[in-house]
Amino acid sequence: MNQNQFDLAALIAAWEPAREQLSIQVEHLNHYYGEGEMRKQVLFDNCLKIRQGEIVIMTGPSGSGKTTLLTLIGTLRSVQEGSLQVIGSELNGVSAGNTTELRKKIGFIFQAHNLFESLTAFQNVSMSTELQGIASDLARPRIEATLRRLGLGQRVHYKPKSLSGGQKQRVAIARGIIHEPRLILADEPTAALDAESGREVVTIFQELAREQNCTILIVTHDNRILDVADRIINMVDGRIHSNVLVKRNATLCQILNGFPIFRDLTPQAISQVADKIAMRRYPTGSEIIRQGEMGQEFFVIGSGDVDIEVDGVQVNTLSQGAFFGEVSLVKQQPRNATVRARTEVVCFLLSKDEFQSVLDSSTTFEEELRKAIFSRQ
Amino acid sequence: MKTPVPLAWKNLTHDRRRLAVAVGGIAFAVLLMFQQRGFNHALFDSTVEIVRELDCDLIMVNPARFALTNEIRFPGSWLEVAGSQSGVDSAEPLFMENLAARLRQDGKRARPIRVLGFNLDRPVLLDSRREILSQINELREPNTALIDRLSKSSYGFELAANAEFPQLGELNGNRIRLIGTFQSGRDFAHEGNLLMSAENFATYFRYRGPDPLSLVDLGLVKVGAGASTEQVLRSLRATLANNVAVMTRQQFIDKEIAFWARNTPIGVIFLIGTLMGFVVGVIICYQILANDIAEHLGEFATLKAMGYGNKFFFALVIRQAVYLGLLGFIPGLFFSWLLFEFNAGMTGLLMQMSIPRVVTILLATLSMCVVSGLLALRKLLAADPASLF
């Protein structure tokens, strides 16, 4: 269980975004194209919070609005309805001058490399450092180092004509990241690359996220790079269809898998549970459920110990991996006991409905529960 | 905004073939403008060239004569009046025939020619003075004349430097012996010049009256040593009143040019021609710049997304336009110069390329490119970075 203890700490950190700075905050964002009768809504009441330093992969069919959302976040389109905050600035009603300033803090990597054929790789990247006002003697080693890191050390002074498609794309990536932006917006950055250079690019993204706490938002259909995502957002018909913290869920699945009650669940069932599960912390001595109330949630103890009290008398102590609260849900009865945190406790919760749906979908889970309930009586 | 990466220059010179076409286009527009301005100046310069050569300080002319080609004359007696004024050294007549004089060589068609008649004691043309003086004795003989070396070759006379004289021809049906040459130049109205004594002039143009020399075309006044031209001008004007106009050579030249420029469509025609050259240049330059922008729309939109502002793009396009203008001007100037030489040889017109005129065309070329740059800028500002995703 020590392994679980360790993971849990990471999990708790990943779970509580409120304490960390938000890079992107989308609230009730609507967007329309066209005027008058031709007006067509393309984004519907979208809400999204992305923390600084997250790597987010956005997927969805074409026409799902992901590109519109990306251009709105990139200040390339003006916000019509709702609130959109990027790197601490509200974009609804922002002035053109501020937009230009904001854009300098963002790194753009487009699907097309958009390099000037007349400029060398070095000069193309210089267009970015010059705009940022980085002195050329400071910029020179930085540009060379970045190009070297992207495997273009021998191609620094080549023009795009003499570069392969993948090399051109890497120059464009160098241009997008050279000024150490706070936010990188990338559209299919690996589409033109072979597996190896694609991997190299996402590794650089990961390093940027880790070392410079840079937020990276990638629109991609490239399955090979899904593993770098902290969060995967799926958009359908102008709405965020799913928004999953994949890293968190992977850790969570691992933890849940360590608990007897979930041990025999299929990987799909576990990840279904992980999708729906919530986490809550309880300080020592606090009441988790109270005898006599109608139960709304099912609890699994992630860490710490709890006391079970019936009519004010302690009858049992449960620790990590144990669960409680199921009787009230299954039998539609009031809580038959009070549960109090004996130490500081972290619990995973499933709401009544979600508990029921997991129960319906998994016979093993149901069996486990019945056995447990039976043994407890 | 200054950029150490010379993007404007790099973009312009990247595609050598297209640059060559672009420079060719601009050079063509420059050539057009030079040609039109050149012809325009040539018209004026050539027309007044004869006036520049006249050996005089002041010119007397009938006040109603609005141009040299307008054959309104004044009585020669006014020359005597002028000549008797204090401060006047001499007042000599110049006789001109523009419209009625026809010169032909045997077997050729008769062609109009300008004939100048003068008092042999006073050779009136400064530039050819020595040449005329050396042949003055032969000019005293009847039916003799000097022919302008720059006269059109279609008269049929041999006018090269090593040509042999005399050559025979007919002037208004009467025999004429061309005993040598002098040099003046053609203009739009005159294909050549003959110079002869007043006496001979009288025999060829009897229709001018019982005394063909009683009416003079121009009076050439020389101011005596020590006298002020300004004062002589004033006293002559007072004496001659409304009968004869007196003016300095420069005033005469200005009046002549003003007539051609304002009262004839010629000035307007050349102005339109010049504007056409300008417009052609704007169109060519715009095409080149707009094409360049259209081809790099993705790149420019990327720069916009990166945070480059409109000021940058403005400077970029203007810089590109100015480079293009300068690059096109140099070959344009060279070919214009060649063409001027060729034209001068062909037409005998004065095709002069002075520094102020070259500077004028250079400024026109640059403004032409800047105008098209500004037109093309709209296309660039419309580049939408949102379309990149």
3-state DSSP: chain A helix, strand, coil percent, rounded to 5? 40, 30, 30
Interface test with chain A among B292, B302, B316, by most A beta carbons within 10 Å: B302
Q: Are A116 and B296 in contact (CB < 8 Å)?
A: yes
Rounded to whole angstroms, the Cα distance separating A271 from A254 reads: 10
Crossing angle of helices B265-295 and B16-53, in 10° steps, is 170
* Distance of alpha carbon B139 from alpha carbon B121, whole angstroms: 11
Give the span between the Cα atoms of B370 and B326, in whole angstroms. 11
Residues counted in chain A = 377
Q: What is the pLDDT of residue A2?
A: 46
Separation between Cα atoms, residue B152 and residue B162, nearest integer Å:
17
Give the Cα separation of B321 and A115 in Å (integer): 22
Q: What angle do CA B247, B249, B250 make, to 5 degrees?
A: 100
Give the closest-approach CA distance of A327 to chain B in angstroms: 53
Residue A51 in this model has a pLDDT that exceeds 60: yes
Cβ–Cβ gap A116/B10 under 8 Å: yes
Q: What is the pTM of this model?
A: 0.73
**pLDDT the model gives residue A1:** 43
Is the Cβ pair B5, A101 closer than 8 Å? Answer: no
Please report residues of A whose CB lies closer than 8 A to that of B388.
Answer: 76, 108, 110-112, 114, 187
Confirm or reject contact between B311 and chain A (CB < 8 A): no
Residues of B in contact with A104 (CB under 8 A): 306-307
Q: Across the interface, which of B7, B299, B305 has its CB nearest the CB of A108?
A: B305
**In the A/B pair of chains, how many CB contacts fall below 8 A?**
81
Please say whether the dihedral angle defined by the alpha carbons of residues B132, B135, B138 and B144, taken in this order, is positive or negative: negative
Taking the CA of residue A203 and the nearest CA in chain B, the distance in Å comes to 23
Q: Do B302 and A108 touch (CB under 8 A)?
A: yes
Q: Does A74 touch chain B (CB under 8 A)?
A: yes
Q: Is B305 on the interface with A (CB under 8 A)?
A: yes
Put simply, the answer to whether A187 touches B305 (Cβ < 8 Å) is no
| A296 three-class SS | coil
Q: What is the pLDDT along chain B (389 residues), one digit of tens a residue?
A: 344 788 899 988 888 998 999 999 999 999 999 998 888 888 888 888 889 889 899 999 999 998 888 889 999 999 999 999 889 999 999 999 988 899 988 888 889 999 999 998 888 888 788 888 899 999 999 999 999 988 888 888 888 878 888 899 999 989 999 999 998 888 878 889 999 999 999 999 988 888 889 999 999 999 988 889 999 999 999 999 899 999 999 999 999 988 888 888 888 888 899 999 999 999 989 998 898 888 888 999 999 999 998 899 999 999 999 999 999 999 999 999 999 988 887 777 777 788 988 999 999 999 999 999 999 998 888 888 888 77
pLDDT for B313:
92
ipTM value: 0.76
Cβ-defined contact of A116 to B389 (cutoff 8 Å): no
Contacts of A108 in chain B (CB under 8 A): 302, 305-306, 385, 388
Give yes or no for residue A19 having a pLDDT over 60: no
Nearest Cα residue in chain A from B383 = A76
pLDDT digits 0-9 by tens, A87-117? 888 999 888 888 889 999 999 998 888 999 9
> Does residue B179 or residue A248 have the better pLDDT?
B179
- Inform me whether the C-beta atom of residue A67 falls under 8 Å from chain B C-beta atoms: yes
Q: Do residue A187 and residue B389 have CB atoms under 8 angstroms apart?
A: yes
pLDDT tens digit sequence for A350-371: 888 888 887 777 777 777 777 7
Query: Is residue B380 within 8 angstroms of chain A, CB to CB?
Result: no
Chain centroid to CA B143: how far?
A: 33
Residues of B in contact with A121 (CB under 8 A): none
Confidence of residue A18 (pLDDT cuts 50, 70, 90): very low
Q: Determine contact: A129 vs chain B, CB below 8 A.
A: no
pLDDT-derived band at A58, boundaries 50, 70, 90: very high
Residue of B nearest to A96 (CA): B309
Q: Residue A20 has which token pair?
A: 């960390």
CA distance B17 to B30: 20
Position A234, amino acid: N
Average pLDDT, rounded, for chain A: 86
Q: Are B157 and B197 in contact (CB under 8 A)?
A: no
Q: pLDDT value at position A5?
A: 53
Q: A111 CA to chain B: closest CA distance, Å?
A: 7
Compute the distance between CA of residue B154 and CA of residue B182 in angstroms, rounded to an integer.
18
Mutation test of the interface with chain B: which of A118, A120, A140, choosing the one with the most B Cβ atoms within 10 A?
A118
Secondary structure class of A176 (helix, strand, coil) = helix
- Check if the beta carbon of residue B170 is closer than 8 Å to that of residue B191: no
pLDDT in tens, A307-321: 999 988 999 999 888
Q: Which residue has the higher pLDDT, A17 or A144?
A: A144
Q: Which of B11, B15, B306 to mutate against chain A (most A CBs within 10 Å)?
A: B306
**DSSP H/E element including A340:** strand A338-341
Q: From the list B7, B301, B307, which residue is nearest A100 (CB)?
A: B307
Give the per-residue pLDDT at B2: 43
Residues of chain B with Cβ-Cβ distance to A102 below 8 Å are: 307
Phi, psi of B228 (to 5 degrees): -90, 125
